Amino acid sequence: MAEEKYNLKNPSVKRILQEFREAQSNPSDDFMSLPLEENIFEWQFAIRGPTGTEFDGGIYHGRIQLPAEYPFKPPSFMLLTPNGRFETQTKICLSISNHHPEHWQPSWSVRTALVALIAFMPSSPNGALGSLDYKKEERRVLAVKSREAAPRFGTPDRQKLIDEIHQCMLSKAPSVPQQNTAQGSEEHPNNSEGEAQDAGAVAAAEKLPNPAVSEIQEEGERVIKEAREAPVNVSPSPYRNQCIYRGSC
């Protein structure tokens, strides 16, 4: 990391570096995220499809852009992997994204947002910007296909990071579960059920299904406390070795 490019006293820079340390010291099997080496306000991520849904076993890549005012303004998100729930390379409208700054809380983090995004995957789209409403069997096909290769996006350096995140996630991901015909023919929930699923989601974190609720609340409290109290002292370890460095793959 070229730290000389950034003012380490800047609150946004300090917070982002703190979140980077948190991602390395407390990794999750459900997601992986890293800032670009040349721009810490832009992150690449991959999430694992939520268990017990048509996304189960899938690996879904995306891009996060953090505003200069982060964490006081929300990030924007786009997915890069075809998934049947969100359009690719389109900023998606969620209550954790820049489309709804009124819902964002500074105590939330990149990690918090990824936990919420996973929870949103099986919810009803209800016509939201950037949403898709594929049938469950189509989404299962995409979940299988998502494991084959990482999406192609951006510069060679960015693509190298995407590919390495993919290999790290793939090494930890379970296989896509087999679905019987009855499950495959299930319809999407009706409008009233979809609205109940999606009501408030992360706009009020308590609306998220467990265990996302407690994780978001605990994560938000811990990260904001550390961002305020911990000194900034990041060693320049290369992002490219992160998967091996963590010992998690």
Measure the CA–CA gap between 17 and 179, rounded to whole angstroms.
Answer: 42
**Of 93, 168, 243, 249, catalytic:** 93
Measure the CA–CA gap between 49 and 58, rounded to whole angstroms.
Answer: 5
Measure the CA–CA gap between 198 and 235, rounded to whole angstroms.
Answer: 41
Measure the CA–CA gap between 244 and 165, rounded to whole angstroms.
Answer: 11
Between the alpha carbon of residue 63 and those of residues 117, 162, 211, the distances in Å are 12, 10, 24
- Report residue 140 as tokens: 């299962």
Burial class (CB in 10 A: 0-12, 13-18, 19+), 120: buried
Residues 107, 220 contacting (CB under 8 angstroms): yes
Contacts for 75 with CB less than 8 Å, ≥ 6 apart? 64, 65, 66, 67, 97, 98, 110, 113
DSSP 199: S
Catalytic residue status for 93: yes
Q: Chain centroid to CA 21: how far? A: 17
Helix residue spans in 61-155 (DSSP H): 110-120, 136-146
Comparing C-alpha atoms, which of 231, 209, 205 is closest to residue 219? 205
Catalytic site residues? 93
